[in-house]
Amino acid sequence: MSIEPNSGRDLDLNARLDALEASQRAEAPRPRAIFERETRRVRIPPGGELPESAALLERFYGGGFTVREKKPMVVDTRRSSGPYMVSVDARPLTLLDACSQIATQTHGFYHPGIVKALYTGRFEHCLWSNPDTTVHHVPELAAYEEALERLAPPALDHVSFVCAGGAEANEKALRIARLHAPPPVNGPRRRVLAFRDGFHGRTLATLGATWNPEKRAPFEFAGYEAVFSRADLGEVERLLDARGHEIYAIVVEPMQAEGGDVYLRREFLLGLCQLARARKLPLVVDEVQTGFATGGPFFWWTRLGLGGDEATAPDILTCAKKACLGVVLSRWPDPESNQVHVASALRGLIQLETSRDQAYLEQLLRPRAEALAEAFPGLVGDVRLAGTALAFDLPDSAAQTAFIDQRYQRGLMTYPAGERTIRFRFSAAWDERVVDDLFKRIHESLARLSDKTAKDWAPEGQSPDSDPAVIVRPIEERDWPQIMVIENASYEPARRDSEAYLRRAATTGLGLCAVDTATGAILGFCFGGPLEGFRGVSGASQDERLGLGDTFYSADVTVAEAARSRGVGRLLKRAQVQWAKVHGFSFVSGRNRVGTTDAMASLNRSYGAFPVARLTHQYEGNALADYYRIPLVPPPAPKTPPDEGILDLASGLQQPFGPAPAFMASHELVGPTASKINLSNYATIDTVHYTEHLRLVAPRGTGHMYFTTSRDETVDKALRCLRLSRPQGQLAVGLEGGYLGHVTAAARSLSDPAGFGDGLALFEFPRLPHPEADLAGFEAGLKDLVEKQGADKLLGLFVEVVGERSGRVLAGETARALAAACKAHDIPLVLVETASGCYRGGTSAWGVDALPADVVPDMVLWYPGGQIGHIFVGDRYFIKKPLVLISTWDGDELSAVRAHEHLRAARRLDLGEAIAALDELLQRDVLPACPGARLGGVGLYRTITFPSVALAEAVDQACLHRGLYLGNGLPDTLVFAPPLTISPATITGDLRRRVLAAIDEARSPA
C-alpha cells in the first residue's frame, strides 16, 4: 500500500523545494570553512541594526507560520565562543551571555571538551544519525549512567534518561513516584505537594506543580491540581494531615530558580525529607537548573550537607539543562525504556566530566558581587551567590523591567526571575577580564535605571580587528636582524627560539612577517611547518598525529610590544591557518604557556583551538603549557561498521537513512553540536532553513507550526494549545492500540497501556475502538462520550495515521467517517504522523496526503527522531501570542539539521519497488506462515500482529538469533521499519530468508 501523489501539485512543490534547497545550500555554512570566533569583546552595531538577522527572522516567521517570539539576534553557533554570543550579521551584535543559555552550558559556546570529542571519534556513532536507544545497547548512555551512579546520593541506584529535558525528567520522576506512593485511601492519589515559587516544567503534570498562577491556571485539570505550601514545615504538616490521602509525591527545588533564585534553608529541606519518610511519600528533588555543579558541588542538595547518607537522600533527584537531556536518579527502577538523543547524552556526559572546571567561579565572583551591593545601597539587595549562580533583588518589578530592557544596549544577556530578581549563570569560559567587563556593564545598567536614554544604542567594538596599514608577506633574508631583535625582546631566555631553529622552520614550512607599509618596520612574525619537523619539541613529540602528515605545527607567533594593539597577531595567525589549509593540512597545533600568553591563547581559540593536553616542566623549568589543536576539516566521518550480519528493521524512525547517511557530510555540524542553545529564545540559520522547508510541505489543513523537544512534548503542547481555545476542555480522546508516548502524563494517558508497566495513565483520558477495527463502535463511543461529558469538555481526538505500535491504518471511508464524526461534534481532529511522515508511505511527505480530500485535520503531530518534534496547526487553533507555548529548548539544532536533511533526501527516493517487495513478502510469505496473523501499516512501516503474545515473542527472539532486529509494537505485534534506503533485493533475499526461518523456528515444537 503506497500513497498516490497529486502529480500536478507535487511537480510544482518539487520545483519550489529544489529552488529552496539550492538557495539554502549556497547560503549555509560550509563544512570546510575557517570560522573566526569572537573571544575578545562585545560588539554593538550602530543603531543596534541587525539587517541579516531581521531578514532571516522574517523568513523564519514565514508570514505567520511560526509565532513571532524570538529574540532579535539570529545566533551564529560557528562564530560564538565561550561567553560571547554572536549574531549572524556582517556587523554582528556580540553579547556576553551571562546566563549560559539559562544554565545549559558549563563552558559557554563551542565547548572545548565537546569539540575535542568530535575530533577524537567519541561522536562517531551518534553525530550523523541517532541510534534508537530502545533497540540497541548504546555505550554512550552506559558510560553516562555509570558516571552519574558514582555521583548520586546513597540509595539512588537507578538512572534513567528521557529526551526533552527538565519537564520530562520531572514527569518521569512523578511517574515512578506514583508507583511507590502509599496505597490509595478514599480514592486515587492524583495530586502532588509542591511549593510557592517553584517551577517544574511546562508539560501538563509539571506545569500543574508550578506555582506561577499565570502560567499554570489556564492548563489545570480538575481533580489533579497540586497542593501548594509555603516553605514552612508546620504548614506542610498541616496540609499532609488534611490532604495527604490525595497526594502521591512531594516535589521541591532546593533553589527555586524561576521563582526568584530562592535559596531554601537546609533545616527546612531536612525536615521535609523526614516528613516525607514518615508519611511514606516519595520526595522528588528537582535539580534541573541546579545540578551539574551550578551551585558548586555537583548537586545543590549536597551543597547543603544533605544526601551524604540514606536518611537525608531524596527518593528521586532530577537533572536537565547542563545534562543536555532529562536525567532521573531514583531508588526505584524505571518501568520503561525511553528513546533519547544520544548526541545530547554524550554532550551531557562531557559536561559532567568537565563540570569541576567551574569550581573557581564563586571565589572570583564574590568580591565583585559584594562590591556591587556596596555601590548601590538601597537599590541592590539580597545578593546571593553559590557556585556559578548569582542573583540580586531590585526594589520592585519596575526596576527589574528597566534593567532587563537595556540588556542589548549594555552588551549582556541575562534574565529576570520572580517579581524583582535579576539572575546570572556563569560558566567555565569566564575569566577575570571578562567578569570585570560584565560587572562594569551591570554597574552602568543599575546607574541608568531611571535614564530615559538608557535604551539608546551606542556603537561598541566597531574598530577593525587589524590595522589596514599592516601587510603579511614571506620572510626575506634582510628581515632576520629585526626578527631576532623582536624575538629576544619578547621572551625570557628559556622561551626564546634561536635563529637557526627559526630558519629551519621557515625552510621546511612557513615563515611570514607583518610589515608596516608606511615605515617598512617589521611588527611581528610567525613560523611553523609539518609536525614531523618538531619531534624534539614537548607536546609535538607526544602528539598522537605525529607521523600522519596532516598537522602543521605553529612554532612561533610573536608581535613586537609596540605593535600589540594593531591586530598584528590576528593577521599573522589568519595567514598561518589559511596557508596550512591551502597546503592540505587538517590541523594546526602548538603550545601556549599558561598565564603569560593569554592573548595568544585567546587568538588561537578564535580559530577553533581546543586543548589536547596540559604540559608540565616546560621551558626549562616548572612552567605549564597547553598543547592545542585547531581543526581545519570537519570531524571524521563514521567508520563503516563491521559486517556483523545485522539487519535492522527496528530503528527506521530514528535512523531513516541508517547509521551513517553520507549526505550528512555536506553539512557543518561542529557549531550546532558544540554549542547547545535555547531555541525557544533564538533562531539559527539552520533552524531558519529547516522551518522554510517545513512551511512548504506543511500537512493539509495546517498553516502554522510549533517546535517541541521530543515526541511526548508534542502531545502536551498540543493540549495546551487546544485548551486556550477550549477553556472548558478536560479530556483528550485516544484510540485503542494508540501510541502518543510514554514519558509525560498526558502522552501516557492517551497511549494504550498494553505492554507498559503498571499505572501508565495519570489522567482518565478515554480511548475508543479504532475505526479500522470497529467503525460502528467508534462512532457509538464518541457519541456516548459527547452525551455524557459535553463536546466542550473534549480537547480533541488524537489519531495516528499509521499506528506505531498497532499498525492500524486510518484510510479511505473510515477516515472520512471519523473526520465527519469530529466535525459533527465540533471536536478537534489531531493526526499523528510519526510512523507515516517523511515520505515513508511512498511519494508524499505525509500520510494525510493519502486520505480523502475532505479529511482535514486541525493539528498534525510529527516526531522525526532525536531531540525535536513538531505541531502543525490550522488557523482556528493557532495561538499567535508570543511566549505562551514555549518550552526551554524547543528542539535541538543538531536534530533540526538531521531532520531537514532527511526530508531533502527522502523526497528524491523512489520507494515503490521496496514497498512492493516488502508488501509481497508479508502478504505472500509471512501471513501464510502465521495463520491468524494480521498485516498492518503502510509503505515502509508495516506490522504483523500474531495470534498470541507468546508467538510474537518467540518470533522476535528467533529473529534476534539470526541478527534480524524487528521493532516491538503492542505485545502481540512486531514492526518492520527499515531504513528508507533498503533495497528490494535485500527484502526478497536476506530479509525473507531470516524472517521465514525465524517463524519456522518459533512455530516448531520445542
Q: What pLDDT digit, counting tens, does each position of 310-350 carry?
A: 999 999 999 999 999 999 999 999 999 999 999 999 999 99
- Residue 506 covered by a domain: yes
Are 251 and 282 part of one and the same domain?
A: yes
- Residue 921 covered by a domain: yes
Q: What pLDDT digit, counting tens, does each position of 826-883 carry?
A: 999 999 999 999 999 998 999 999 999 999 999 999 999 999 999 999 999 999 999 9
- Does pTM top 0.75 for this prediction? yes
- Residue 388 covered by a domain: yes
CATH number at residue 585: 3.40.630.30
- Residue 232 covered by a domain: yes
Are 328 and 413 part of one and the same domain?
A: no
Quickly count: other Cβ atoms within 10 Å of residue 586's Cβ: 20
Are 43 and 14 part of one and the same domain?
A: no
- Domain encompassing residue 555: 470-631
- pLDDT the model gives residue 5: 42
Sheet containing strand 326-330, edge to edge, reads 158-162, 326-330, 316-319, 283-286, 247-252, 191-195, 227-229
Q: Which residues pair with 705 in a beta bridge?
A: 872
Are 232 and 252 part of one and the same domain?
A: yes
The three three-digit cell numbers of residue 173, written as one number? 520522576
Are 9 and 49 part of one and the same domain?
A: no
According to DSSP H, which parts of 861-948 are helical? 893-907, 912-920, 927-929
What 3-state class would DSSP assign to 638? coil
Q: Is the four-CA dihedral 249, 255, 257, 258 of positive or negative sign?
A: positive
Q: What pLDDT digit, counting tens, does each position of 717-751 carry?
A: 999 999 999 999 999 999 999 999 999 999 999 99
Cα–Cα distances (Å) from 584 to 508, 579, 580, in that order, read 15, 9, 7
Are 860 and 806 part of one and the same domain?
A: yes
Are the CB atoms for 437 and 407 separated by under 8 Å? no
With 80 as the cut, is the pLDDT of residue 945 above it? yes
Are 854 and 937 part of one and the same domain?
A: no
What 3-state class would DSSP assign to 99? coil
The three three-digit cell numbers of residue 811, written as one number? 484510510
- The DSSP string of 75-94 is B-TTT-BBTEEEBSSSS--E
First to last CA, the chain: 36
Examine the fold and report which residue of 410, 434, 460 is the final residue of a domain before the chain moves on: 460
The kind and range of the H/E element at 425 are strand 421-425
Average pLDDT over residues 293-301: 98
Q: Is 110 exposed, middle or buried (0-12, 13-18, 19+ CB in 10 A)?
A: buried
The three three-digit cell numbers of residue 61, written as one number? 516567521
Q: What pLDDT digit, counting tens, does each position of 230-251 carry?
A: 999 999 999 999 999 999 999 9
The kind and range of the H/E element at 514 are strand 510-516
Quickly tell me which residue has 471519523 as its cell: 818
The contacts of residue 993 (CB under 8 Å, 6+ apart) are: none
- Residue 377 covered by a domain: yes
Quickly tell me which residue has 603550545 as its cell: 591
CATH number at residue 949: 3.90.1150.10
- The DSSP string of 752-783 is --TTS-TT--SS---EEPPHHHHHHHHHHHHH
Are 527 and 572 part of one and the same domain?
A: yes
Q: What pLDDT digit, counting tens, does each position of 667-720 carry?
A: 999 999 999 999 999 999 999 999 999 999 999 999 999 999 999 999 999 999
Average pLDDT over residues 220-226: 97
Q: Please tell me the chain's helix, strand, coil percentages from 3-state DSSP, rounded to the nearest 5.
A: 40, 20, 45
Are 515 and 619 part of one and the same domain?
A: yes
- pLDDT the model gives residue 494: 78
Say which amino acid occupies 375.
A
With 60 as the cut, is the pLDDT of residue 6 above it? no
Examine the fold and report which residue of 431, 460, 489 is the final residue of a domain before the chain moves on: 460
DSSP state of 182: P
Torsion, Cα of 33, 38, 43, 45 (10° steps): 0
The three three-digit cell numbers of residue 271, written as one number? 525536615
Torsion, Cα of 293, 296, 301, 306 (10° steps): 130
Q: What pLDDT digit, counting tens, does each position of 597-623 carry?
A: 889 999 999 999 999 999 998 887 788
The pLDDT-based confidence of 8 (bands split at 50, 70, 90) is low
Q: Report the DSSP pairing between strands 794-800 and 731-735.
A: parallel
- pLDDT the model gives residue 888: 75
- pLDDT the model gives residue 9: 61
Q: How far apart are CA 284 and CA 887, in angstroms?
A: 21
- Residue 31 covered by a domain: no
- pLDDT the model gives residue 1006: 63
The three three-digit cell numbers of residue 142, written as one number? 552506559
Are 452 and 584 part of one and the same domain?
A: no
- Residue 509 covered by a domain: yes
The kind and range of the H/E element at 693 are helix 685-697
The contacts of residue 214 (CB under 8 Å, 6+ apart) are: none
With 50 as the cut, is the pLDDT of residue 4 above it? no
The pLDDT-based confidence of 1 (bands split at 50, 70, 90) is very low
Quickly tell me which residue has 608577506 as its cell: 473
Rounded (5°) CA angle 983-987-992:
160
Quickly count: other Cβ atoms within 10 Å of residue 218's Cβ: 13
Average pLDDT over residues 99-104: 97
Torsion, Cα of 753, 755, 760, 765 (10° steps): -10
Are 408 and 546 part of one and the same domain?
A: no
Are 455 and 499 part of one and the same domain?
A: no
Q: What pLDDT digit, counting tens, does each position of 972-986 carry?
A: 999 999 999 999 999
- pLDDT the model gives residue 596: 81
Q: How far apart are CA 174 and CA 205, in angstroms?
A: 8
Examine the fold and report which residue of 419, 436, 460 is the final residue of a domain before the chain moves on: 460
Tally of residues, the chain: 1006
With 80 as the cut, is the pLDDT of residue 7 above it? no
Q: Report the DSSP pairing between strands 623-631 and 283-286.
A: unpaired
- pLDDT the model gives residue 1005: 75
Are the CB atoms for 720 and 204 separated by under 8 Å? yes
Q: What pLDDT digit, counting tens, does each position of 487-522 carry?
A: 999 988 877 889 999 999 999 999 999 999 999 999
- Residue 27 covered by a domain: no
With 60 as the cut, is the pLDDT of residue 2 above it? no
What 3-state class would DSSP assign to 665? helix
Report the domain count for the chain: 5
Q: What pLDDT digit, counting tens, does each position of 541-565 carry?
A: 999 999 999 999 999 999 999 999 8
Mean pLDDT of the chain: 96
